[in-house]
Structure 1
Amino acid sequence: MKIYFPQWQGSGTGKNIEPGAKAVLDYLGEERFYYIPLSALEAGRQGEKRFSINNYDAITEQLLRFKEILEDKNPETIKTIGGDCGLEIVPVSFLNKKYPNLGVIWFDAHADINRPCDSASCNFHGMPLRTMLGEGEEKMSPLLSSTIKASQIHYVGLRDIDSAEQERITNGNIYAPKELNIKELVDTLNKKEITKLYLHFDFDCLEPTDYDKTYYQVPNGLAIKAAEQCIEMLKKNFEVVGSSVLESITTKREELQPIAKIIKLLMT
């Protein structure tokens, strides 16, 4: 099942994420993407913060809509154009329930594993992994189809980590290498007897001098070519049952050209 879900409210005020997602959708030129409507509740600068999460009501309303659609359609695979990283709690937890041997590959400059009480920004796109671990805001638990384990998380391109996030990564022995080693990643997954993967791809994992049309930019990221090679190797060695492309903000078709292969590898 292919999903278009331009959620931006998890980024706080990043409304440019929504047209950025639409640009990726238009770039692919496919009509088979199922649109998840966004909440009409006020968000952004007029949004309300609840439980230390900005735009809480808008986020939970539309994420529940997403979950109900997946439960109704019961897809075997899910490919999502988004949107901010907070939307991932729905497809990952859904596929994790269906495939108990699921590995989660988190291509991202950021750890996204804060608890609401530890987040300086209170933006939900920095909290999805902690939520999926069952350690986030408990009132969001009904949005999850299952919870994952720390051993299922594997970071690629991670380099901007809050202190509370680093503590959780260290205590959970979460795979978070300083540099990408594709063979080591494949070997690690094989040793864990993981056979199916979810590939989360936030474009800020990339080196900004290669691609800078992202909501956040962090230096010393992945080269585009390295990201392509990693995705290709993961697809070759494992069954990819879910994938996403998230947080690109350009609306210009020509500016998407550098990441065209990544988009096609993950969405087609």
Structure 2
Amino acid sequence: MSGASFLVVPQWQGSGSSRAMRLIDGAEAIHGDLPAARTHRVPVPTAAGESLGTGVNRFSSLAAVREAAEAELALLEAPVVTIGGDCGVELASVQHALAAHPEESVALVWFDAHADLNSAESSPSGAFTGMVVRALLGDAPDGLAATGPARLDPRRLVLAGTRELDDGEAEFIAATGVRVVGVDELDDPGRIVEAVAATGATAVYVHIDLDVLDPSTIDGVGSPVPFGVMPERLTDAIRALRARFDFAGAGVTEFAPESPDAAGRDLAVILRILGALTGPVPGAPATASGGQ
């Protein structure tokens, strides 16, 4: 793999799935294939944590992991690829990328079957994994909400492969005009490039929840949604983005295999995705850097 750094965050507390603890095994399975010299690991509390009246399940542990991840990110050379754990691990990583590039605009491309745009008030489950993008936009309890230069502008958010929305999320998208690139549109990688270009961004952070993939291509996800993206379409889209925009970082989340054998079967697909994120791309701009 290229000179990217890796941050492994085996957080499970943000998940609302019955398979939440398997996220630890998934993160560790991916960790085993990463270059040791360029990989840091964030210790995750064993305790589930308390909501503390915030409306976010396990809030106290989530806030602690965010703080620990921020400390590790400060030690790593950019760009950083974060390995989850649930989608909540992206909170610190996306904020770090945004704050590290104040001289240029960074778009967040959220490859995910779900929008993760619930607020604590609209969430039907209280699980933070479904609230993390809203937190990045600044709408979350203190301790999780992004602020200042680390706060994402909704005009620079692109949802990709999203196909299952809660009512509150659909209302938020309609009200804010957040761009959505559907599964069928990803057959042409130029469509996701056009969507990001329309934001005015010059750099891109790429988030991948593995449930964006079609369930026929990967078993180890906690919330599979039918009619997803095929792996080759996803990797084509990633390479197209990297060929056009500076690369501010990425995350791969929500790997929850049933067993070590099952993890091994899925790792081939995951390593292809990591290769698209970190391997050479002909014609790509110089990697965005800074904020170490």
- Provide TM-score, normalisation by structure 1: 0.91
For 2:98, give the aligned amino acid: N
For 1:70, give the aligned amino acid: L
Select the residue among 239, 242, 254 that pairs with 2:265: 254
Q: Is 1:81 matched with 2:83?
A: yes
Deviations 1:20-58 (A, max 9, x none): 111111134544211111124x21xxx433311111111
Unaligned runs of 5+ in 2: 280-292
- Counterpart in the other structure of 1:131: 135
Pairs within 5 Å for 1:168-187: 168-178=172-182, 179-181=184-186, 182-187=189-194
Pairs within 5 Å for 1:1-268: 1-12=5-16, 14-28=20-34, 30-40=36-46, 42-43=47-48, 47-50=49-52, 51-71=54-74, 73=75, 75-99=77-101, 100-141=104-145, 146-178=150-182, 179-181=184-186, 182-250=189-257, 251=260, 252-267=263-278
State the SS of the aligned residue for 1:10: coil
Deviations 1:191-224 (A, max 9, x none): 3331111000110000001112111100011011
Distance 2:224 2:209 in 1: 11
Structure showing the higher helix proportion among its residues: 1
Deviations 1:58-107 (A, max 9, x none): 11111111113334x27432111111101111111111122241010101
Q: Please report how far the alpha carbon of residue 6 of structure 1 lies from its aligned counterpart in structure 2 after TM superposition.
A: 0.9
Give the direction of change, closer, same or farther, for the CA distance of 1:141–1:188 in structure 2 (3 Å limit).
closer
Note the aligned Cα RMSD (angstroms).
Answer: 2.0
State the SS of the aligned residue for 1:262: helix
Distance 2:208 2:146 in 1: 25
Give the direction of change, closer, same or farther, for the CA distance of 1:138–1:82 in structure 2 (3 Å limit).
same
Give the direction of change, closer, same or farther, for the CA distance of 1:21–1:74 in structure 2 (3 Å limit).
closer
Deviations 1:96-146 (A, max 9, x none): 122241010101001101101111111111111100111112343478862
Is the 1:115–1:136 contact (alpha carbons within 8 Å) kept by the matching residues of 2?
Answer: yes
State the SS of the aligned residue for 1:49: coil
Q: How many residues align?
A: 263
Distance 1:142 1:198 in 2: 16
**Identity within the alignment, %:** 27
Distance 1:158 1:4 in 2: 25
State the SS of the aligned residue for 1:234: helix
Is the 1:79–1:243 contact (alpha carbons within 8 Å) kept by the matching residues of 2?
Answer: yes
Is the 2:117–2:169 contact (alpha carbons within 8 Å) kept by the matching residues of 1?
Answer: yes
Distance 2:72 2:178 in 1: 31
Is the 2:222–2:254 contact (alpha carbons within 8 Å) kept by the matching residues of 1?
Answer: yes
State the SS of the aligned residue for 2:266: helix
Give the direction of change, closer, same or farther, for the CA distance of 1:196–1:88 in structure 2 (3 Å limit).
same
Distance 2:173 2:106 in 1: 19
For 2:138, give the aligned amino acid: G
Deviations 1:123-174 (A, max 9, x none): 1111111001111123434788621111111111100100100111111111
Is the 1:90–1:143 contact (alpha carbons within 8 Å) kept by the matching residues of 2?
Answer: no
